[in-house]
Structure 1
Amino acid sequence: METWFTITVSLCLIFLLRALFSLLQKSCTTKISNPLPPGPTYIPIITPIIWLTKSVSQIEPTLQNLHTKYGPIVTFHIVSRPTIFVNDRSLAHQILIQNGSVFSDRPKSLPIEKILNSNQHNISSGSYGPTWRILRRNLTAEMLHPSRVRSFAQTRKWVLDVLLERLKLDIKSNASIKVVDHFQHVMFSLLIFMCFGQRVEDEILDDIEKAEHTLFLSFKRFYVLNYWPRITKFLFRKRWEELLKLRSNQEVVLVPLIRARKEAKKSGLCNDDNNNPRAYVDSLLDLKLPNEGQRNLDEGEIVTLCSEFLNAGSVRVIL
């Protein structure tokens, strides 16, 4: 037993030292070939572990202190790769407006993000290119155009009636009411209708909101899985399984709505009029990706885009 323990510890130390030397060598090479703006010293392995223990709210005060010390442009390693923060309006204008084409692209997603965004097949984190442009153009033309917004006027009236009815019932049974809960409920009902073209029962609505909300709140727990995925998948196996389970729950509640709308389209029941306006998922089912062999989006990618639509449009109060 002691022999096996010694061998296991030795192997772990070997892999740890090898990874440390590799990161140090890579860090030194990067500094020589691509000099970055000033910032605090990055220590491989140790720095990421320190930031894993901190909350997102602690980053802003730290950045303010770093800008005071290093100037308006600071290189800061929150995760393994460097992030550059700009705290000057004129410099931000030069970067984002005057040289937007140079700095507009987005980095490749981290391992856990690839699962949740279907390998960057979404708008908020997708790499700029043909796929991102067609997804963004589709959302803008099919859902955000003023004529499309007007087509959901009757749906908004229905949602308003539901809100008033819920408030009346709550007033009769309670001395005080929490208005924000009712607003969130009807807002999510509206978004579900715009996304899937149908009204759903409260039970299904609650399941969808729970799946989205739980995944949103749990995201920070999975950051550690981005470091050496081959190792962390083994060391944090239960956490990895939890991530996959949350993604599975998301698909379980959304895929039936996608398939139902797909069947309705095949049956010719989806007429683009005021009584049955074109839903977001209709446009996604018709969409083809030109740079990927003119293929249609698969169910997982449609789930990702529908989730993005619901989260962007809903207002969440997190205590």
Structure 2
Amino acid sequence: MEPFSSLHTLLLSLFPSIGTIFVIFICVKWILFYSKNRKNTPPSPPKLPIIGNFHQLGLSPNRNLQILSQKYGPVMLFHLGSVPTLIVSSAEAAQEIMKTHDLSFCTRPSLTMPNILLYGCKGVLFSPHGEYWRQMKSVMVHKLLSNTRVKSYQKVRESEIDHMIRVLGESCGTTIDMGSIFVTLTNNIICRVALGRKFDGSKQIDLVKTLIYMLTVFDVGSYIPWLSWVDQVIGTKGRAEKIAKEFDEFLEAVIKEHLNKKRSEDAESEEAGEDFVDILLDLQEDKTNDFTLHRVSLKALILEAFVAGTDTIYSSLEWSMSELIRNPRVMKKLQQEVTEIAQGRSAISEDDLEKMPYLKAVLKESLRLHPPAPLLAPRESVQDVKLMGYDIAAGTQVIVNAWAIGRDHSIWEEANEFQPERFLDNSINYQSLQFGWLPFGAGRRSCPGMQFSVPVLELALANIIYKFDIGLPSGIKNEDLDMSEAFGILMHRKSSLLVRVTPRF
């Protein structure tokens, strides 16, 4: 028994050491495993059950997110319902998303409202990244909005702006709603370019406004899937389907008109050249293409031209005019430039625009302070990626706060002041990759309509300033002009811009 007793004693004496070694081994393995799998996620504000951080967006998400970024940093992880959402508020982070890791953040999240309203996202704006999106973007960029094509619509732009100037001239001495003037202008241009002729302006404008409003409506199912039935009960889905049906009926009528009837040979049609519907129908019939342009894709592209074109142009014109009214020094300097270039002619032409650096600077400065889309259309990460030192999981929604970046004091001196001169001595332009200035986004998902919009904005602004002195109704000082924003997918003035115009000559 002695050998057994000795062995037993030895084992008992060794047991504490073996136990300690075993515990240490388990701890080391756990630490190594945890360190390997632990993610360095961006800082997050406290969230509520079910809704996450939705309550922190408020009525002015661009402003509220800017304030939160000052506390939590330029890269924050929000939770919108059950959807992890990266909020980006710095040029450096925006550059990583839209340039360094552009391919990792190149797709769009699937959202209920765009799917219902925009033909299942068969256009360019909300279509997920892939071969179909590449084909549609190629059609948009090379067939509809190429430099040659945009230039071909010069007479349309000039004739509609000339018509607007005549309307303003007839309204001298009265109070004018400039927002309505700009809406009519852009609607007429878009209709002629996209559809070949002008339509009933009020009906078109109401359809576009309602559709854009519905795109901003919160649909529960996209962010809290198990509550998707709420959208049906409160009627959100039904309203979206109704407006989508109305727009579809309108577009079907337009397409049938193009198919069943030769284009009229009147002067307006000859000026307009081929419209978007003509181009797309020809493309549809072209058997040499390596892809098929289906009817639904054709309609989706036309619809996006209305949504992205009409509202962005008119709101940008309204903000630019508002800033000029509030800053008489800038207004006077711009009037001097356009007057010198015009040399007594009746109007400013598009050929004059390249000789007007201050006009271009005024527009760029207005777009810095009032980007058409204050929060760029959401992206979604297609794979796990390291961003600014943080681990971002695949499937994370990404929102870039272009409004906050445009007012970042680390980039822009006196960032909240309207100072066009800041754009006179730098190389920032609409084609450059400048991530501190994002009026049209950047990277693969940048806005393809930039080339179309800028000539309209510059030509309209130049001619108004050349022909008229613009002021506020009597009793209102320029510096007291209300500049409050009405937030939406596109940012408008909260109140109408009411002015009085006086002929300069």
Fold similarity call, TM over 0.5: yes
Match of 2:236 among 236, 239, 244: 239
**2:44 touches 2:77 (CA, 8 Å); kept in 1?**
yes
> What secondary structure sits across from 1:85 in the alignment?
strand
The corresponding residue for 1:198 is 197
The verdict on how the C-alpha distance between 1:177 and 1:95 changes in structure 2, with shifts beyond 3 A counting, is closer
Q: Does 1:214 align with 2:210?
A: yes
Deviation at 1:189, TM superposition (A): 0.4
Deviation at 1:222, TM superposition (A): 4.3
Q: Does 1:95 align with 2:80?
A: no
The corresponding residue for 1:61 is 64
Q: Does 1:298 align with 2:298?
A: no
Matches within 5 A, 1:135-284: 135-171=136-172, 175-200=174-199, 204-226=200-222, 227-228=224-225, 230-236=228-234, 238-264=235-261, 267=262, 275-284=271-280
Deviation at 1:309, TM superposition (A): 0.9
The corresponding residue for 1:5 is none
CA–CA distance in structure 1, aligned partners of residues 190 and 263 of structure 2: 23
> What secondary structure sits across from 1:83 in the alignment?
strand
The verdict on how the C-alpha distance between 1:164 and 1:43 changes in structure 2, with shifts beyond 3 A counting, is closer
The verdict on how the C-alpha distance between 1:61 and 1:257 changes in structure 2, with shifts beyond 3 A counting, is same
> What secondary structure sits across from 1:82 in the alignment?
strand
Q: TM-score, normalised by structure 1?
A: 0.72
The verdict on how the C-alpha distance between 1:309 and 1:262 changes in structure 2, with shifts beyond 3 A counting, is same
Name the structure with the higher strand share.
Answer: 2
The corresponding residue for 1:104 is 106
Deviation at 1:207, TM superposition (A): 0.6
CA–CA distance in structure 1, aligned partners of residues 113 and 91 of structure 2: 33
> What secondary structure sits across from 1:250 in the alignment?
helix
The corresponding residue for 1:133 is 134
In structure 2, give the amino acid aligned to 1:149: V
**1:112 touches 1:225 (CA, 8 Å); kept in 2?**
no
Q: TM-score, normalised by structure 2?
A: 0.47
The verdict on how the C-alpha distance between 1:225 and 1:246 changes in structure 2, with shifts beyond 3 A counting, is farther
Name the structure with the higher helix share.
Answer: 1
Deviation at 1:148, TM superposition (A): 1.3
CA–CA distance in structure 1, aligned partners of residues 146 and 216 of structure 2: 34
Quote the RMSD (CA, aligned, Å). Answer: 3.2
In structure 2, give the amino acid aligned to 1:151: S
In structure 1, give the amino acid aligned to 2:308: A
Q: Does 1:312 align with 2:308?
A: yes
More displaced 10-residue stretch of structure 1: 39-48 or 74-83? 39-48
**2:98 touches 2:105 (CA, 8 Å); kept in 1?**
yes
The verdict on how the C-alpha distance between 1:268 and 1:33 changes in structure 2, with shifts beyond 3 A counting, is farther
The corresponding residue for 1:74 is 76
**2:76 touches 2:86 (CA, 8 Å); kept in 1?**
yes
CA–CA distance in structure 1, aligned partners of residues 215 and 70 of structure 2: 28
What are the superposed Cα offsets for residues 121-145 of structure 1, whole Å, 9 maximum, x if unpaired?
A: 1211111222212222222222322
What are the superposed Cα offsets for residues 59-111 of structure 1, whole Å, 9 maximum, x if unpaired?
A: 53245324523x3321111343111123343343233222222222222x212
**1:40 touches 1:76 (CA, 8 Å); kept in 2?**
yes
CA–CA distance in structure 1, aligned partners of residues 179 and 263 of structure 2: 38
> What secondary structure sits across from 2:176 in the alignment?
coil
The corresponding residue for 1:117 is 118
The verdict on how the C-alpha distance between 1:90 and 1:74 changes in structure 2, with shifts beyond 3 A counting, is same
The corresponding residue for 1:84 is 86
- Which of structures 1 and 2 has the bigger CA Rg? 2
The corresponding residue for 1:28 is none
Deviation at 1:263, TM superposition (A): 2.7
In structure 2, give the amino acid aligned to 1:80: S
What are the superposed Cα offsets for residues 165-191 of structure 1, whole Å, 9 maximum, x if unpaired?
A: 3224434xx633234422321221011
Deviation at 1:287, TM superposition (A): 4.3
In structure 2, give the amino acid aligned to 1:89: A
> What secondary structure sits across from 1:105 in the alignment?
coil
Same amino acid, percent of matched pairs? 20
The corresponding residue for 2:383 is none
- Unaligned runs of 5+ residues in structure 2 are 1-36, 316-491, 495-505
More displaced 10-residue stretch of structure 1: 109-118 or 95-104? 95-104
The verdict on how the C-alpha distance between 1:42 and 1:298 changes in structure 2, with shifts beyond 3 A counting, is farther
> What secondary structure sits across from 2:87 in the alignment?
strand
**1:193 touches 1:279 (CA, 8 Å); kept in 2?**
yes
**1:286 touches 1:296 (CA, 8 Å); kept in 2?**
no
Deviation at 1:196, TM superposition (A): 0.9
CA–CA distance in structure 2, aligned partners of residues 313 and 35 of structure 1: 40
The verdict on how the C-alpha distance between 1:58 and 1:146 changes in structure 2, with shifts beyond 3 A counting, is closer
